[in-house]
A and B are shown apart, each in its own frame.
Chain A
């Protein structure tokens, strides 16, 4: 009874109307509500199967060196600390260290390399100009020339023959540290330089994995999860729980509610369940709407009709849980909508960090796990353990936050906590200090 009344309060609110619009607008704008024109085709011999990232030292080493050398010549290194783009310019001492690293890899002296500084590599060829190719998934890669081509170019910055992959990785790690971390030279990111074409056998195996593991529908549900989490489910539920909690304060209902017999645990957990239900019911519906569009594409194949439900609950729900729990906890603690800023900031940083692992980002603390592809089922299989740990961690953390909200609410009921008063006094104190220092 209480649950339905709280659910009604959530659903008939402005916050929910905005949420519902965003929930529908996101998949529509990203063209993932209707997959009927995106059939996963069985590869046939002689086709172009696209490219893949592979730990292939023979590809990674020249490509990474090429990028690092260009950055060195221009003293302009691209990094993504905490997910945001940053252009790093090194001082002369650090450029000298970088020259030493390049020297160890190329055999050129540090002085020769330093002489290239600010010259955009003039006088030396770095890689080739004709290697740019566009991949099937919209990305692009630079392929390196063969040794024969390279050898033909005078003064080219290229790898010494004696450099092995372990030594190379070590040098790249040093380079990454020099530029402050977050660069593609970090050992765990080096594979991004390993862009190689997919062979027929690999493409066929990939197709089989999608067929056997995902039963096709799973792949679509996974891609749908990716978009919905990034755009909606990891951030917008916070608005619903904040609005629900602040509604008591706005209606000056706290005195009435605090003196009722219902326990704080019952009230808070019921409200939490109401927010989750209000978010998940239309979400599951959208998952099925999207997935339905491919059910006719694979006649005779064994499809997984529960895939939308599995992905909505297994992949999506933990993010909804944490977002809603953050909203409830910080709103009850402070009686302000500060939770929106907290969750918004977390979400923003997370999606930027996630940009570097679009085709399989399942790290433990990733708020929105990434898998922005219909393919790469193997990445999903490989990362499943990590993904499961991530989702369990977030669900558990969310329940802990809700339990903490119960404690906070109970303290407020007993007059032991006045978060709003404390915030007000804190900011008044700050303003007073500012005025004093200005005077």
Chain B
């Protein structure tokens, strides 16, 4: 029994006739683990199952050796930051931490100590007397992380935490996650590829409820090696090229447009370039037959 990992075997979940997760087998070790996928890929369903908010229809899940059915123990060892994190707006920051601390089973001394330490960690000490409604979006997410860590969990589940944050706040948040991942499993779900690239060593890709990839970020990026090209094209060629190639970005300079595309075979007149994780992710989707044409947006 592995006490430091999350093990999922043949997990299935459906909502009525809609299959949300199909035959998911995955092992997540300590550190940051990214779960990447488009909206509706099944990431939140998987996260909610790990947080005991949804039941699986089939398969096995063990979190640090604890079967997911043992909800009481799972709740003790898990911290959860939901996709739409929110707190009672009229509560003060410190008060909100105290309230959730009570519900996490902490005694008065532990609550006071952890609230102080965690608010300092997420840089919210000065805001502890402010009402939650007065916090910025980034501050609220940081408060979200602080509350999720109240019970000193072995596993931290973070669902789409950076959506809507400005670049500076996003970087600060990612660094914070990396910091807390040093002593626990942090499962980060996102559809923002840059977040994974900056924080995770291991990643899984979900698409339409199926697992497309499970491995290291570098191996994923390596898969796209030799398959990413750039080429300057005439604007009039664009409609045709969009149909023929998987264009991942476009950049207009004067009368020409610089395109970046994915191709299994060399593209005439195009230059090979270094793949990014975004290229690799798109290639995986492309290979799986997912609808990815027409992706290029002109910049």
Chain B residue nearest to A261 in the complex (CB): B105
Return chain B residues, CB-CB under 8 Å to A416: 55
A155-163, A250-258, A282-290, A382-390 - the one binding chain B: A250-258
Is A413 among interface residues, defined by CB-CB distance under 8 A?
A: yes
B78 contacts A259, CB within 8 Å? yes
A1-9, A33-41, A67-75, A292-300 - the one binding chain B: A1-9
Is A424 among interface residues, defined by CB-CB distance under 8 A?
A: no
A9 to B100, CA, bound (A): 14
A263 to B105, CA, bound (A): 10
A413 contacts B52, CB within 8 Å? yes
A1 to B106, CA, bound (A): 11
Tell me the chain B residues, 38-64 only, with Cβ under 8 Å from chain A.
48, 51-55
Is A260 among interface residues, defined by CB-CB distance under 8 A?
A: yes
A293 to B17, CA, bound (A): 68
B72 contacts A261, CB within 8 Å? yes
Q: Could you tell me the distance in whole angstroms from the C-beta of A422 to the nearest C-beta in chain B?
A: 12
A256 contacts B147, CB within 8 Å? yes
A257 to B80, CA, bound (A): 10
**Interface of A (DSSP majority class):** loop
Return chain A residues, CB-CB under 8 Å to B88: 9, 247, 251, 253
A413 to B80, CA, bound (A): 14
A401 to B48, CA, bound (A): 29
A257 to B75, CA, bound (A): 11
Given known contacts A1-B102, A252-B86, A259-B52, is B71 in contact with A414 (CB within 8 Å)? yes
Return chain B residues, CB-CB under 8 Å to A251: 86-89
Is B125 among interface residues, defined by CB-CB distance under 8 A?
A: no
Return chain B residues, CB-CB under 8 Å to A257: 103
A260 contacts B100, CB within 8 Å? yes
A5 to B101, CA, bound (A): 12
Is A46 among interface residues, defined by CB-CB distance under 8 A?
A: no
Interface code B81-123, partner A: CB below 8 Å = 1, 0 otherwise? 0101111111000000011101111001000000000000000
B contact set with A: CB distance below 8 Å: 48, 51-55, 71-72, 75-76, 78, 80, 82, 84-90, 98-100, 102-105, 108, 147, 151
Can you spell out 19 A-B residue pairs with CB atoms less than 8 angstroms apart? Answer: A2-B103, A9-B88, A253-B88, A255-B48, A255-B53, A255-B82, A255-B84, A259-B75, A260-B75, A260-B100, A261-B72, A261-B151, A262-B102, A262-B104, A262-B105, A414-B53, A414-B71, A415-B48, A415-B55
A contact set with B: CB distance below 8 Å: 1-2, 5, 9, 12, 247, 251-253, 255-263, 267, 413-416
